[in-house]
Amino acid sequence: MAAMNPFEIFGLKPQFRIDKQKLDEKYFEIQKKVHPDRFASASDTEKRVAQQWATLINDAFQKLSDPIQRGKALCALRGHLIDEDSSGSISEEFLLEQLERREAISDAKDSGNTAELEVLKKAIEKEKDELLNEVVDAFDVKSDVSLAAEDLKKVMFLNRQLLDFE
C-alpha cells in the first residue's frame, strides 16, 4: 500500500480550509467500501488489507478534521516539519504575553475569581480563532508555509494554555 497523504485519500485539494460536510460525506462513502465487516467471508489477506485501509482512512479523517493536525500535514507536504517541543520561531513578544496571561490565570485561580477566569479563557479562544484565520490566509492565499507554521505553533501553545482551565 503506497503512502498517501490525507488529502489524496479523500480527493481534496491540499489546503487549510476544507469543506467539513464534503469531508464527512467522502469519509462515509469510502468507509462503506472498505469496512472490515464487508469482508467477513473474505480471505485472511483481504480482511487484513481491508483493516489496513479502514485504519488509514480513520487516521486521515482525524488529521483533516483537526485544524492543528491538518496544518501539520500541510506543512509536512510542503517540506516544513513542525517541532512541537520547541518554541523556535515564535516571537518573544508572543511568549512574554502568554507568560503574563499564565500568571493572570494563576492569580485568578488562587483568588477564586471565576469571572476573571472566564474572561481570560474567552480571550485565549478569541486569539486562537484569529490565529486560525491567519493560518488559512498563510496557507491558502499567501502560500507562506513558514508563516503558517509559526501561527500553528502559537495555536498549539494556546491549546496547552487552555488546559489550565480544566
pTM here is 0.85
Question: Structurally, how many domains does the chain consist of?
Answer: 2
Look at residue 76 and tell me if it is in a domain: no
Give the tens place of pLDDT for each residue, 3-35: 689 999 999 999 999 999 999 999 999 988 887
Band the pLDDT of 164: cuts 50, 70, 90: confident
> ∠ CA 21-48-66 to the nearest 5 degrees?
30
Find, among 38, 29, 35, 32, the residue nearest to 53 by Cα. 35
Burial of 15 (0-12, 13-18, 19+ CB in 10 A): middle
Residues 53 and 97 in one domain: no
C-alpha–C-alpha distance, residues 36 and 30, integer Å? 12
Give the tens place of pLDDT for each residue, 109-118: 999 999 999 9
Domain that holds residue 29: 6-65
CATH number assigned to the domain comprising residue 26: 1.10.287.110
Look at residue 158 and tell me if it is in a domain: yes
Burial of 158 (0-12, 13-18, 19+ CB in 10 A): buried
The region that residue 66 occupies, defined by phi over 0 for left and psi between -120 and 50 for alpha, beta otherwise, is beta
Give the tens place of pLDDT for each residue, 132-147: 999 999 999 999 999 9
Residues 56 and 96 in one domain: no
Residues 104 and 157 in one domain: yes
Residues 48 and 106 in one domain: no
